[in-house]
Amino acid sequence: MRIADRYIGWQVLYGTIFGVSLLTVVLVLGQLFRKIRPLLVEQAAPLELMGQFILLIIPFTLMFTLPWGFLASTLLSFGRLSSHNELLSLRMAGLSLSRLALPVLLVAACLSGLCWWLTGTAAPQAKDASRNLLYEAVRKDPRNLIKPRVVISRFPSQRVYAEAEDETGLLRGLHIYKFSGEGRDANLEAYMFAEEVDLYVNEEEKQLRLKLSNPFIEISMNKDTVSPIPIRATEMEPVLIDFSATSKKRSKPSDITNDDAPIRILESKERAELSRRELEGEIPPKSAGLPAGTTFPSGLEEGVELPPETLTPRRVEELEGIIVREKRFQEELNVEIHKRRSISMACLSFAMIGIPLGISARRRETSNGLLISLFVAAAYFGLLIFAQQIEDAPLPLILSILWLPNVLCFIIGIWLFRRASFR
């Protein structure tokens, strides 16, 4: 029996490795082709940066390709075992279908644990590291970001063009056009020209700055009633890219790891509770703009404004907004955690439905197994994506839709198992 377990388990495992590798390469190449122009042409990214980019997007692709590859391998492996009458021989030896499926279920359980680590640890950490890719490349050589005689359009609502570059690396004749948006209907808001420009990185503030010599700026107000306002200066150092702004985006639920999620939920509940208590008068009210529960030191100096004794309308609105934001954050984080759990269960769900489906297609062509896997995976992940798009729906409904694919796979799989066991 151990020989049969190893044989079936390795058949499925080898097929999973091959399928996951193939699907991952296809999806990674798709992402790479979509990003290759802005990375290579506009950002002048080195090959080292491209390699790091590929490594960082692999965890995101494995979240989907691992269950999909396992499903395809299960369908093809059991279809082949059935068509060669190997399953029939094992069942004639007294082994039940559920016993034959045991090694596959063990492999599915191990892959589910791997998916849980990918969705909750590897993917958020890779997303965090990807934010620093461009900064590290720019920090090493900021002058490579703007090439002479090339229109740079990667900056939001801006177009940058440099006429030439001297032997020392300084740009000559820099033109910057600032628009009101990205579409064709966007209006020109400002124009800047500098005779000589150098780029450098302020590492303390993580900002890419321009050092402009003799800049000329023309600000467009209302072009129908007010003429553009010209401004001249001897030197300016405006910020071209603020990399520190990316740190403000790290509070999204998808950026939080599984280990940090309980702590973040607890902190959010504490902030909401302090706001509620202050709103209901259980703790002294504070000035607008201060977090709920802020304590003032004793012995305030003369001239320092004391906290108000009653809640101002601005403070009431501020506290109500904090409560709403924290509640929304907790719901979004709960949805994210349930989504990760649901995706982690995909391998077990696909094992339940893939084994009997593979047996039922034993005398058909191999391509049918791939088509079935494509249909099941598309329906499964389609429901997960749909659950995340209905933001205004009640939380229980969203969670039900997130778990619906697993429930359906288990119910249909048990029914198909019973049918196949009595054949």
Gap between the Cα atoms of 312 and 45, Å rounded: 52
DSSP structure class, residue 148: B
Residues 6+ apart with CB under 8 A from 163: 148, 149, 172, 173, 174, 175
Token output for 298: 């004793």
Burial of 124 from C-beta contacts in 10 A (0-12 / 13-18 / 19+): buried
pLDDT of residue 91: 77
Average per-residue pLDDT for the chain: 80
Three-state DSSP class for 203? coil
Determine the Cα–Cα distance for residues 269 and 138; give it in Å rounded to an integer.
39
- pLDDT tens figures, 137-167: 777 777 777 778 888 777 777 888 888 888 7
Burial of 100 (0-12, 13-18, 19+ CB in 10 A): buried
Q: How confident is the model at residue 363 (pLDDT cuts 50, 70, 90)?
A: very low
pLDDT average, residue stretch 44-55: 73
Residues sharing a CB contact under 8 Å with residue 48, sequence separation 6 or more, in sequence order: none
**pLDDT band per the 50, 70, 90 thresholds, residue 302:** very low
Reported confidence tier of residue 309, pLDDT bands at 50, 70, 90:
low
pLDDT of residue 411 exceeding 80, the answer is yes
The share of the chain scoring above pLDDT 70, in percent, equals 83
Q: For position 67, what pLDDT does the model report?
A: 92
Here the tokens at position 361 are: 């297609």
Q: What angle do CA 297, 298, 303 make, to 5 degrees?
A: 85
* Closest to 264 in 3D by CA, of 285, 250, 275: 250
Nearest-5° angle of CA 128, CA 205, CA 40? Answer: 55
Q: Does 130 have pLDDT greater than 80?
A: no
The pLDDT, as a whole number, for residue 280 is 84
With cut-offs at 50, 70 and 90, classify the pLDDT of residue 251: low
The model's pLDDT over 257-299, given as tens digits with 9 standing for 90+, comes to 999 999 999 999 999 999 888 888 888 777 665 555 555 444 4
Confidence tier at 198 by pLDDT (50, 70, 90): confident
Contacts 24+ apart (CB under 8 A), 166-175: 169/143, 169/198, 170/196, 170/197, 170/198, 171/143, 171/146, 171/196, 171/197, 171/198, 171/199, 172/148, 172/196, 172/197, 174/146, 174/210, 174/212
DSSP per residue over 314-330, as a string? HHHHHHHHHHHHHHHHH
Average pLDDT of the segment spanning 300-324: 71
Residues 6 or more apart whose Cβ sits within 8 Å of residue 7: none
Confidence (pLDDT) at 263: 92
Three-class SS state of 198: strand
